[in-house]
């Protein structure tokens, strides 16, 4: 194994627990300084904050670290190819109509 990869692996072995601890500390501070102050909830300690962080990750984010799958984010995704083909088949007038319609839909409500 090349020294570069050893350094990279060593960095991640050290960085992951430090990042995890930092996030637990941030969750604890946010909970104790916001929710415990404005609601009758109790203050939490570091390990409860880490547990809450893990629970939220399970309930809302899963354990994927490479982004959501199947939403057309890849240019080679079938949906992306389908939209690209549809766009290429449109005339300039249809493209302008399409753009204006989506601009209307994406504006915040007044």
Q: What is the pLDDT along the chain (110 residues), one digit of tens a residue?
A: 677 778 888 888 888 889 888 988 998 998 888 888 888 888 999 999 988 888 888 888 765 555 555 454 567 788 888 888 888 898 999 989 988 988 888 877 76
What are the C-alpha distances in Å from 32 to residues 19, 45, 68, 106? 20, 9, 31, 37
Q: What is the value of pTM for the model shown? A: 0.49
The pLDDT value recorded for residue 63 is 57
């Amino acid at each position: 194994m090349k020294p570069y990869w050893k350094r990279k692996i060593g960095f991640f072995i050290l960085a992951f627990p430090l990042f995890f601890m930092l996030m637990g500390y941030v969750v604890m501070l946010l909970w104790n300084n916001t929710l415990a102050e404005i609601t009758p909830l109790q203050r939490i300690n570091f390990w409860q904050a880490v547990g809450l962080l893990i629970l939220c990750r399970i309930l809302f984010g899963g354990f994927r670290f490479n982004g959501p799958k199947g939403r057309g984010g890849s240019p080679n995704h079938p949906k992306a190819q389908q939209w690209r083909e549809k766009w290429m088949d449109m005339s300039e007038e249809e493209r302008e109509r399409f753009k204006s319609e989506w601009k209307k839909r994406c504006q915040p409500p007044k």
